[in-house]
A and B are shown apart, each in its own frame.
Chain A
Amino acid sequence: MSFDSPTWIVCPIILPLIAGLLCFLFRKNTFFIALFASLANLLSVAILLWQFLLLGPMRYSMGGWQAPLGISLRMHGPTILMLLMTAVSGLGITLYARGYFSFRIAAPKRVGRHERQERFFWPLWLLLMTALNALFLSADIFNLYVTLELVTVSAAALAALSGKPASQIAAFRYLLVSLLGSLSYLLGVVFVYKTYGVLDLQMLRQVASPGPGLQAALALMTLGLLLKTALFPLHFWLPPAHANALAPVSAILSGLVVKGSFYILFVLWFDIFASSISQNALNLMGVLGTGAIIWGSVQAIRQQRLKLLVAYSTISQLGYLFIAFPLALRGDGGQGAWAAVAFMVLAHAFAKSAMFMAAGTIFLHMGHDRIKDLTGVRKCLPLTSFAYAIAGVNLMGLPPSGGFIAKWLLLSSSLTSSQWWWSVVIMTGSLLASIYVFRVVSRLFVIPAGKSICACRPHSPLLEWPALVLAMIALLLGLIAPYPLLILETDTLVSCLLLGGGL
C-alpha cells in the first residue's frame, strides 16, 4: 500500500478493532497489543494528515459502493484534528493505564480483582478508540448513529469497570441517559430520511431546506446529542460517572468521549443544516453554555473531592464550546468562532485527560482524594503536581495555552460582532476557573514544615510522565497555533472553491 493510497483512511478504524479482538483472544501481554495499536493508529493518522495537506479533503467508499448504498467515509479539516486528538491522547492514556494497573496490581490487596479490571480494560478501550475514529470519519447521519451507539456501549462498560457500587449506579445511569440520547437522535434521523430520502451528509447539505420537518428532526437530534454532551441542564449524569470511574477511564470519558457527540452536533449545525438555523436557536445554545460555565464552575468550587472537582470543571469547559454558537454565524467573526471551537476541543481533550491522570495518581498514592488533605503532594509527586498545574493553566485560559487562543478568538469575535455580553461570560468563567484550579494547586504546592504527609511507594514513570506530556502539549498548543488553523483553513479553502465551481 503506497503512502498516497486512499485506503489508509480505514486504518484508524480497522487497526484498533483488530487489536481489540486480539486482546480478547490473548489473555497475556494485552498491553503490548494495545500499545502497538495506539502507535499504529497515530502513525496512520499522521499519514492521513500528510495526504490531507497534499490533496485536500477526500471521500472514500468502502468496497467501491457509492453513497446511497455503500458506506462512505470522509475526511476534512475537523476530522483530521479530531483523529489527531484521539490518537495523541489515546497513546498517552494507553501508557498511563499500564502504569496505573501495574501499580494497583503490585499492591498486596485484591490482586485478582485488579488483574480482572485490566483484562477487561484493554479490549473495551480499543473498541472505544475504533468507535471514536469511525465516528469522526463517518459521512452519513445513520453511520454516525451506529458509531455513536458503539461509543456509548463501550464507554458505559468502561465506566462500570471499577466495580464499586457507586460507580456501577453511575455507569448504569450513564448508559440509560446515553441510550435515551441515541434514540432521540435516531428519531431525528428517521425524520430526515422520511423528508429527504438521503442520509449522506454531502447530499443532505444540498437538499436541506428550512421547513417544519427539518426543524423537528434537528430539534430531536440536537436534544439527543446535548444529552450525551452533558450541556447544562442535561449534565446531571456526568459528574458521578466520570468521578467514580477508574482514572484512565475518567481521562477517556472526559477528554474524548464527550467530544464525539459534540462533533456530530457541530457538523450538523454548522456544516450540513447551517442555512436552516435561526439566530434564536444559536442564542439559546449560548445561554445554555453560559449556564454550564457558571454552574459547572460554582459546583467545582464547592466540591470536597478532587475527581468530582475535575468532573464538574468538564461541564463548565464544555459550556465554552456552546458560547461559540451565537458567535459563529454573525459578522466576520464566523471563522474565528470555528477556530475557537477547534482549539477549545483540542486543548480541553489534552488538559482534561492530563488532569484526570494526575488526580488518579494522587488518589493512588494518598489513598483518598479529599482536597483539604492534599497539602504537600508536590513533595513526593512533583511531576504529577506540575502536570495538574499546567493543565489548570489551560482551563484558566492563560497564555500560551490552547485554551488562551480559544478564549482570545471567542472574545474577539464577540467584540467584533457587537455581542459584548458573551465576553463578560467568558471572563467570568476564566476567573471562576482560576478559583477552582488554585484551590487544589495551592495545596499541592505548599510543603508543611517538618513532617512528610504521604507514604511514597515506588512507581513506574508511566504513572507520571504521560500526564505531564499531555499537559505540556495543551500548554504549547498556543505556540503552534498556525498549524491547526492551517488544517482547518485548507478545508474551507477547498470547499469554497467547490462551492464557487457551481456545486
Chain B
Amino acid sequence: MIWQGWLLVFILLSSFLPGIIIFALPEEKYRLRTSLNLFGAGIKLVFILIMNIGIYYGYNYEIRLPLIQGVELLLNADPLSALFATLSSVLWLLTTIYAVGYLEDSPNRSHFFGYFSLCVTVTIAIALAGNLVTFLLFYEMLTLATYPLIIHRGTPQALRAGRNYLIYTLGGGAVFLFAVVWLQTITGPAYFSAAGFSPLLVETHRTALVSIFILLLMGVGVKAALVPLHGWLPQAMVAPAPVSALLHAVAVVKAGAFGIVRIVLDVYGIDNMSRLNLFPLLTVASSVTIIWGSIRALQQDNLKRLLAFSTVSQVSYIALGMSLADQPLAVIGGLVHLVHQGLMKITLFFCAGNLAETLGIHRISEMKGVARRMPLTMAAFSIGALGMIGIPPTVGFVSKWYMGLGALAMDNWWVLAILAGSSLLNACYFLPILTSAWFAKQERPWPEERRFNRFETRLMLLVPPVITAIIVIVAGAVANAQISPLAWVRFILREYGL
C-alpha cells in the first residue's frame, strides 16, 4: 500500500518542518520554539513506534525516487533501520529537553535548534536509507548540518574544531563517494539486502573489491572515529554539551558505525566478506582503535575529552562485533552495542554538561567530593561509567558478554584478550573518577557555582540523565525480555539467517 512508504516521509518531515519553522522564528519566541521542538520529537517517536510494530509484523515500508541511471533515492525500513531510528529518536527527545534547559538565556537559540532538528532528520534518513547512494547523500548532509553546531560558540577553539571536523569528514566523504561510484561500476547499484553482490564477482574483481572495501571503510571510518581517522572527535568536545551528546550518541559517530554495519552485512554480505578475507582487516582496525582510544583516555584530565576518547574506543566494539561475523553471538554483541553505547555515552555527556553548567567543573581534578553536592547527577554518571566498564547488570555487560561468547566460540583468544584488556583500561580511567567524586573530600570551592532551589541543578538538566541511567540498568537487567534492544537485534539477525 502506498501510505506505508509515506510513513517514512512523515517520519522525516516531523523533525524537518519544525526545524525550518524554528529558523524563521524570532529569537524571543521561547515557548513556541520549545513546544514545536517537543511536539516534533514526540510525533516522530509515535511514527517510529508505528513503523516498528509494522516491521515486526512483516510490513514493507518503501518509497523511491529515481534520479539518473543507477542513482535512486530509496527509503526502506528494515529491522536494522528501525534499531538505529528508534535509538536516535528516543535520545533526540531527551537531548532536546536537555538542550532547552542547557541553553536557557544563551544567544542564537533559534539557529541552534534549527540545525539540531535538521541533524536528527538527516540521521533518521541515514537509518532509513535503502541503498548506498541514499546513505551517501544523507551522510554528506549530516556533515553540513552538524558543522554549524560545532562552531556554535564562535570561539577560536570552536572554529578550529569545526575546521578539523570539516577536513576529516569532507575528505572522508570524497573517498566514500569515489568508492561508491567505483563499486557501482562493478556490481551495479548497491541495495541494502542481506545477499550482498553476486559471489561470481569475487573471483573476477578481487583486488578492486578489496580496495573498494578499504576506501569505504575509510569513508565511514572518519565519522565512526576509527584510529587514525579519529582526530576530529576529541577536539569537537568544545561544542556545548547537547551537541556532544548528539555527536557521540545520537548522530554522527553512530552514523559512521551504522555505515560499517551496512557495508559488512548488506553491501558486501558476510559470505563475500569471508571469501575476500576482509574480516581480519576489520578486526585489526577495530582492535587498534579500542586499545588506542582507552590508552589516550587514561591520559586526560579534561572530563569531556576523556569521554571523547572513550567514545573512540567504545564505538569500535560495534566494528569488532561485525568483524567476527562468522559467529552470530558476536554480531549480536556488536549490533546491540550500537544502542547500548548510545545510552551510556549520552548519560555521561549529560552529566558532564551538568557539572560544567552548575559548578563550572571541566576537569577531573576538580571533581573531588562532587557527589555530595550533586548526588543524582553523579549516580547517573556512575551507572554510565560502570556500564562502560561492563559491570552487570548494566547494558555494557550484555554487549561485552555476547562478544566474548562469540570470540570464545571461534576460539579467538586474541579478541578475548582485547576485550578483557579494554575493560581493564576502562576501569582504570573511570574508577578513579568515581572514587574521588564519591569518597574524597571537597578541597576548594567549585569554580563557578550556580544555585537552583529544590534540586541540585535545573530540572530539565537533571531529568534526561536520570532517565537514560535508568534505561541503562533496566535494559541490561531485562535484556532477555520480549521487548528489549537485545530481542530486537535477535529479530534483525533472523533476516540475515544467522
Residue in contact with A405 in the complex, picked from B66, B68, B107, B108, CB distance below 8 Å: B68
**In the bound complex, do residue A399 and residue B171 qualify as a contact, i.e. CB atoms below 8 Å apart?**
no
| Interface size bracket, B side | 35 or more
Is A447 an interface residue, CB under 8 A from the partner?
yes
A427, B177: Cβ atoms under 8 Å? yes
With both chains docked as a complex, state the minimum distance between the C-beta of A462 and any C-beta of chain B, in angstroms: 19
B144 touching A398 by the CB < 8 A rule? yes
Please name all residues of chain A whose beta carbon is closer than 8 Å to the beta carbon of B162 when the two chains form the complex. Answer: 442
Give complex CA distance A428, B73 in Å: 26
B71 contacts across to A, CB distance below 8 A: 405, 408, 481
- CB pair B185–A446 under 8 Å, yes or no, is no
A479 vs B73: C-alpha distance in the bound complex, in angstroms?
Answer: 9
Which residues from B are CB-within-8-Å of A407? 177
> Residue A487 at the B interface, CB < 8 A?
no
In angstroms, Cα B137 to Cα A422, docked, is 22
- In the bound complex, what is the Cα–Cα distance between A482 and B154 (angstroms)? 41
Q: Is the interface of A mostly helix, strand, loop or mixed?
A: helix
Q: Kindly supply a per-residue 1/0 record for chain A positions 431-468, scoring 1 wherever the CB is within 8 Å of any chain B CB and 0 otherwise.
A: 10010001000100111110000000000000000000
For B408, what are the chain A residues with a Cβ–Cβ distance below 8 Å?
A: none
Q: Which residues, 42 to 74 on B, are CB-close (under 8 Å) to A?
A: 65-71, 73
Interface residues of A in 409-441 (CB under 8 A from B): 409, 411-412, 415-416, 423, 427, 430-431, 434, 438
A400 within 8 A of B: yes
What chain B residues lie within 8 Å of A485 (beta carbons)? 68
Question: In the complex, A478 Cα to B65 Cα: how many Å?
Answer: 11
Any A CB within 8 A of the CB of B433: no
Is there contact, CB below 8 Å, between A409 and B68?
Answer: yes
A129 at the interface (CB under 8 A from B): no
Q: Once the chains are docked, how many angstroms separate the CA of A449 from the CA of B177?
A: 37
Within 8 Å by CB of B170, from A336, A423, A431, A482, lies: A431
Cβ of A339 under 8 Å from chain B: yes
Knowing A427-B174, A479-B67, say if A416 contacts B140 (CB, 8 Å). no
Are A445 and B68 interface neighbours, CB within 8 A?
Answer: no
B356 at the interface (CB under 8 A from A): no
B378 to chain A, nearest CB (A): 31
Whether B163 pairs with A442 at a CB distance below 8 angstroms is yes
Q: Is the CB of A412 within 8 A of B185?
A: yes
Which residues on the A side are within 8 Å of B140 (C-beta)? 398-399
Measured CA separation A482–B174 after assembly (Å): 24
How near does chain B come to A469, taking the closest CB pair, in angstroms? 15
Interface positions of B from 126 to 156, Cβ below 8 Å from A:
136-137, 140-141, 144, 147-148, 151, 154
**B 145-185 binary contact with A (CB < 8 Å = 1; else 0):** 00110010010000100110010001101110110011011
A binding-site residues for B, Cβ under 8 Å: 336, 339, 378, 382, 393, 396, 398-400, 405, 407-409, 411-412, 415-416, 423, 427, 430-431, 434, 438, 442, 445-449, 478-479, 481-482, 485
- 15 inter-chain pairs at a CB distance below 8 angstroms, sorted by A residue, are A396-B170, A398-B173, A399-B136, A399-B141, A405-B67, A408-B68, A408-B181, A412-B181, A415-B185, A416-B185, A430-B174, A431-B174, A442-B147, A445-B148, A447-B154
Footprint of A on B, CB under 8 Å? 23, 65-71, 73, 107-108, 111, 136-137, 140-141, 144, 147-148, 151, 154, 159, 162-163, 166, 170-171, 173-175, 177-178, 181-182, 184-185
